[in-house]
């Protein structure tokens, strides 16, 4: 087959190190197969799944189930993180040695930061010993409890108690100190506040082994989105204000935020249709990430195209030590073709994901993944 790629970008397959594929436990939201279809349609050839499934990915058995299902049913490479504590409850450390042996690429407190300092300390020590990065969700759940949106003008207007920035920043600061103390590699997920970005910048300057990610919704939208999108704009950590968005963009531009990751978090329309306070947090992101990266960052001149592609490919791959990040002669190719000029309107009915929870529906984007090859097989093609 000959492909005319005139005017198109041929890049290494994109890598998303933060997705929620909901299997086992919530097949109505997403399965590993449908999540992988969504990834392929978004140009992603490798993903790292988060363990807030049911049961959570806290035993070798469940981890092996996810990896096996990925191999058997997914159109893309499926890697997995493992829960740092049983049930993600923060009371007892999981068997990190065995989970690493079984293929976990990172340990995480996913969605519910471990609060007991003894336990956090032990987890960081173990992660340092095993040289496995810790992916930290960074949220003090005592502080953020009860809120749905960033605490500010909009939350007050909508009668929501609000989520203070401090709830995120306290744990970012804490975890950077634990990483500094133990030598563990720390990866901070979905950074949303200006001071959070600054804490990471300072940690890096001190030589702490800390990396971090920015999510498309956090570099594109502010909390005002909730005024029109309601619970579709409800996500953890919340959409913040213009100043925070600018800081996340600046952090991506100066390398403080190493990676663009989607935090693809599918939920059913029934759940998202509930009143704001009762609707779950999260939005799908795999199929809009390329468009948002080009539209919000590259076309406005905030991030070079090369940096954008690196943050979606080689950098996340290297952080998680994925084989797809290796350049080896004879390795079957993971390749993505992006049409940078393609203008399109987000239509959530067309998503390959099982879920449609996005605040970007109807938004006009410029740039789209149009062809995806995984291990030498074409898994998505709209050329």
Known catalytic residues are: 263
Binding of Zn ion by 137 (CB under 5 A): yes
3-state secondary structure of 366: strand
Binding of Zn ion by 187 (CB under 5 A): no
Q: Which stretch binds Zn ion (CB under 5 A): 8-16, 134-142, 171-179, 254-262?
A: 134-142
Q: How far is the CB of 365 from Zn ion (least distance, A)?
A: 22
Residue 88 gets the label, from left (phi > 0), alpha (psi -120 to 50) or beta, of left
Q: Which does 316 bind (CB under 5 to 8 A by kind): Zn ion, ligand NCD, none?
A: none
Q: 84-123 mask for Zn ion (x: CB under 5 A)? A: ----------------------------------------
Contact 66, 36 (CB under 8 A): no
Sole binder of Zn ion in the list 160, 169, 258, 263 (CB under 5 A): 263
Contact 266, 196 (CB under 8 A): no
In Å, how far are 272, 290, 322 from 348, measured between CA atoms? 14, 15, 30
Between 11 and 50, CB nearer to Zn ion: 50
Q: 43-62 mask for ligand NCD (x: CB under 6 A)? A: ---------x----------
Residue nearest to Zn ion (CB): 137
Sole binder of ligand NCD in the list 43, 70, 111, 133 (CB under 6 A): 111
Binding of ligand NCD by 109 (CB under 6 A): no
For residue 6, with 0-12 CB atoms within 10 Å meaning exposed, 13-18 middle and 19 or more buried, which class applies? exposed
Nearest to 356 by CA among 98, 29, 92: 29
Binding of ligand NCD by 263 (CB under 6 A): yes
Nearest to 233 by CA among 359, 68, 349: 359
Binding of ligand NCD by 281 (CB under 6 A): yes
3-state secondary structure of 325: helix
Sole binder of ligand NCD in the list 13, 42, 282, 316 (CB under 6 A): 282
Q: CB within 8 A of 143, min separation 6: which ones?
A: 164, 166, 167, 170
The footprint of ligand NCD (CB under 6 A) covers: 20, 52, 111, 137, 235-236, 263, 265, 281-282
């Amino acid at each position: 087959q000959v492909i005319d790629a005139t005017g198109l970008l041929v890049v290494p397959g994109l890598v998303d190190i933060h997705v929620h594929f909901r299997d086992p436990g919530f097949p109505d939201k997403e399965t590993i197969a449908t999540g992988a279809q969504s990834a392929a349609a978004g140009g992603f050839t490798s993903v790292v799944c988060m363990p807030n499934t049911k049961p959570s990915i806290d035993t070798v058995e469940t981890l092996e189930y996810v990896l096996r299902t990925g191999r058997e049913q997914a159109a893309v490479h499926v890697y997995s993180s493992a829960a740092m504590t049983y049930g993600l409850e923060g009371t007892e450390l999981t068997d990190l040695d065995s989970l690493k042996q079984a293929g976990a690429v990172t340990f995480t407190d996913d969605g519910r930061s471990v609060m007991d300092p003894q336990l956090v300390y032990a987890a960081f020590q173990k992660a340092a010993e095993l040289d496995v990065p810790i992916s930290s969700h960074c949220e003090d759940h005592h502080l953020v409890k009860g809120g749905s949106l960033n605490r500010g003008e909009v939350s007050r207007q909508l009668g929501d108690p609000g989520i203070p920035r401090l709830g995120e920043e306290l744990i970012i600061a804490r975890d950077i100190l634990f990483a500094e103390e133990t030598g563990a590699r720390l990866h901070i997920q979905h950074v949303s506040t200006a001071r959070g970005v600054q804490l990471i910048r300072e940690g890096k300057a001190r030589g702490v082994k800390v990396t971090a990610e920015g999510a498309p919704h956090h570099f594109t939208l502010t909390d005002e989105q909730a005024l029109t999108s309601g619970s579709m704009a409800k996500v953890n950590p919340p959409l913040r204000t213009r100043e925070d968005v600018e800081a996340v963009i600046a952090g991506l531009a100066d390398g403080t935020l190493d990676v663009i990751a989607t935090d693809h978090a599918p939920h059913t329309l029934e759940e998202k249709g509930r009143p704001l306070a009762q609707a779950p947090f999260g939005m799908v992101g795999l199929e809009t990430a390329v468009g948002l990266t080009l539209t919000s960052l590259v076309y406005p001149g905030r991030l070079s195209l090369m940096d954008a592609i690196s943050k979606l490919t080689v950098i996340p791959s290297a952080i998680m030590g994925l084989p797809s990040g290796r350049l080896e002669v004879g390795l079957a190719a993971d390749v993505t073709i992006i049409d940078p000029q393609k203008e399109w309107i987000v239509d959530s009915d067309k998503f390959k994901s099982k879920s449609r929870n996005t605040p970007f529906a109807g938004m006009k984007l410029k740039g789209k993944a149009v062809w995806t090859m995984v291990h030498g097989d074409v898994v998505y093609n709209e050329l």
